[in-house]
Amino acid sequence: MVKLGERIVEKGIRLLPLMDLSQVDTSQARPIPEAKSKLEIIVHAMEIGMGVLGHVDICIEGYVYSYGNYDELACILNGARGEGVLLKAPREEYFKFCKRHYQKTLYIYSLEVTDEQVQLIKNRLEKVLKESFTWSPPDDICSFNPVSEKLEEMYAYFMVQCMPVTFYKFRKTQFKLYTMWRNNCLLFVDYLVSALKVRPLRARMTTFPSLYQERLESLKEKQHSIVTDCQIY
């Protein structure tokens, strides 16, 4: 049954929208862009592996919050389903890790918000963390790195070796279970930004970061928009 599910997921992935990296210059290393806002949305992109579907994080006052299936020992269906895990890491160290370990391209969208709006986001985050507990990733060899093309320790374990990072799992709430097609990274970001009550910023029926990025790009081009800038790293 699991093998059948994996084949269904793999077939579905081939039909999904992919990230467009054609305009990204990767010929030389770039310095990490300084934050232009207290609130940023970060869209990840890769040209190989599951990264072609994209990933999205939120950065609040210098700390990145990233939701995903980081406990790879608890995943099934090629990572499409598993236990939901939230990580908190310093912005600069996290960006460096994403670039070095998985050669990701990061699109960093700045949001124009007031201190009061940032506090609304923090309140929403505090609410969901009340139903969480900290988790430490083991050093089991269980993850395939598409960049190095070899099996290695899980992604989360490498992060612990490289930076001060905290992982959370959930006792209940909708984020206890991660699914690629619904309870994913975009749903978590949408849950937080919904506190701003800015309708165009909501993910609504959008499921994957590659489509949500199109919305962010569209908002960036409009006058008096909450999305004011995009930096690429």
Model pLDDT for residues 154-193, shown as the tens digit of each residue: 888 889 988 999 999 999 899 999 998 889 999 999 999 9
The boundaries of the domain holding residue 51 are: 2-21+31-232
Q: Give domain status of residue 208, yes or no.
A: yes
Dihedral sign computed on CA atoms, order 144, 156, 97, 211? positive
Q: Give domain status of residue 195, yes or no.
A: yes
Q: H-helix or E-strand containing 34?
A: none
Give the tens place of pLDDT for each residue, 62-111. 999 999 999 988 888 877 899 999 999 999 999 999 988 878 899 999 99
Mean pLDDT score across all residues of the chain: 85
Q: Give domain status of residue 26, yes or no.
A: no
| Residue appearing with tokens 């998985």 | 102
Confidence of residue 222 (pLDDT cuts 50, 70, 90): very high
User: Which 8-state DSSP code applies to residue 147?
Assistant: T
Which pTM value belongs to this model?
Answer: 0.84
Does residue 197 sit in helix, strand or coil? coil
Burial string for 35-48 (b: 16+ CB within 10 Å, else e) reads bebbbbbbbbbbbe
Query: How many domains are there within the chain?
Result: 1
Q: Give domain status of residue 192, yes or no.
A: yes
Instruction: For 86-143, give the DSSP string.
Output: EEEEEHHHHHHHHHHHH--EEEEEEE---HHHHHHHHHHHHHHHTTEEEE-----EEE
